[in-house]
Amino acid sequence: PVNAILACQHKYYARQVLQQVAPEANPAFELLNAEYGAPIPDGLQYPAFVKPVKAAFSVLARRVDNQQELHDHTRFGRWELWVIRRLVEPFDRIVRERLGKDVPSAHHMLLEAPVQAAQYNLDGYVFDNQVHAVGVVDAIMYPRTQAFMRHQLPTRLAPSVQARALDVARRFLGAVGFTHGLFNMEFFYDEASDRLTVIEFNPRMASQYSDLYRRVLGVDLHAIGLALAHGTDPASLPVIA
Give the containing element (helix H, strand E) for 4.
Answer: helix 2-9
- The model's pLDDT over 155-209, given as tens digits with 9 standing for 90+, comes to 999 999 999 999 999 999 999 999 999 999 999 999 999 999 999 999 999 999 9
Is the pLDDT score of 148 beyond 80? Answer: yes
pTM for this prediction: 0.93
Q: Among 5-19, 33-47, 49-63, 124-138, which stretch is predicted with the lowest mean pLDDT?
A: 49-63
- The model's pLDDT over 94-113, given as tens digits with 9 standing for 90+, comes to 999 999 999 999 999 999 99
Is the pLDDT score of 34 beyond 80? Answer: yes
The percent of residues in the chain predicted with pLDDT above 90, rounded, is 83
* C-alpha to C-alpha distance for 59 and 49, rounded to whole angstroms: 13
Question: First and final CA of the chain: distance in angstroms?
Answer: 33
What pLDDT does 25 receive?
98
